[in-house]
């Protein structure tokens, strides 16, 4: 029973880590895409103002 409890507790603690790393990876890629588009649009606006 105790081993079962430890197994459940271990998987319970490990699952959020897996989800966290997966979400972190997707967030990183989406943030990178948003950041890149923001930089590109800002550079275009600056070029339009100066040009």
SS3 for 51? coil
Total number of domains in the chain: 1
| Ordered per-residue pLDDT tens for the chain, 51 residues | 788 888 888 888 888 888 888 889 999 999 999 999 999 999 999 999 987
pTM: 0.48
**Separation between Cα atoms, residue 22 and residue 28, nearest integer Å:** 10
Structural domain boundaries enclosing 32: 1-50
pLDDT of residue 3: 81
pLDDT of residue 35: 94
**Mind giving me the DSSP string for 2-50?**
HHHHHHHHHHHHHHHHHHHHHHHHHHHHHHHHHHHHHHHHHHHHHHHHH
pLDDT of residue 37: 95
Exposed e or buried b for every residue in 25-51, given b needs 16+ CB within 10 A? eeeeeeeeeeeeeeeeeeeeeeeeeee
């Amino acid at each position: 029973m105790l081993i079962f409890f430890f197994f459940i507790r271990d998987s319970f603690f490990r699952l959020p880590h897996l989800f966290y790393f997966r979400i972190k990876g997707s967030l990183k890629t989406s943030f990178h895409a948003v950041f890149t588009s923001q930089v590109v649009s800002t550079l275009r606006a600056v070029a339009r103002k100066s040009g």
